[in-house]
Copies of this chain bind each other. A is one copy, B any other.
């Protein structure tokens, strides 16, 4: 595995992310696939919860509500699929500590509207973009062909989700302001991941 990862192959930079994942993350993830799969299940449920909470906070925002309903439904469907994989592989459901990634990103959300909404949407866009990148890396390096195929199959929706969050942010502020803020948040996000978290997680 190690030889394969530490190859000359570069990890492509996903649009909106400032830095691609370190190859050390890929090594950690593939060496701890059971934990990553369990954490991935938590991530899908969390993503559904985040979308529902945003709808709860902005119940009058027609477009946001419509699009986040679709995202929440898809995240739940993925949650179910990941849980089926856990069952198939005999990995019991269990709680897992969250990596600091999420609380650090959340700490960047500004107060007052529309800043709070724009930041929340942009942070969701970044998390989805990072998930898209990392699930793709698992798909690429996972030694179990069926599981690899499953991970590749999830990539398209993660990409769609980050596009939706990004476009939604532009509904509540002008494009130039959103792009400047996105670049700043994405830089911060890359800085969090520059140091590998000791516990293997999708966002370690």
Contact = CB atoms under 8 A, between A and B. Distances in A.
Interface string A54-77: 011001111001100110110011
A76 B45 CA distance: 14
Given A59-B93, A59-B95, A60-B94, 9 more contacts: A45-B52, A45-B56, A45-B59, A48-B72, A49-B49, A49-B52, A52-B52, A66-B80, A69-B79
A42 B62 contact: no
A143 interface: no
Nearest to A66: B83
Interface of A: 42, 45-46, 48-49, 52-53, 55-56, 59-62, 65-66, 69-70, 72-73, 76-77, 79-80, 83, 87, 92-95
A87 B69 CA distance: 15
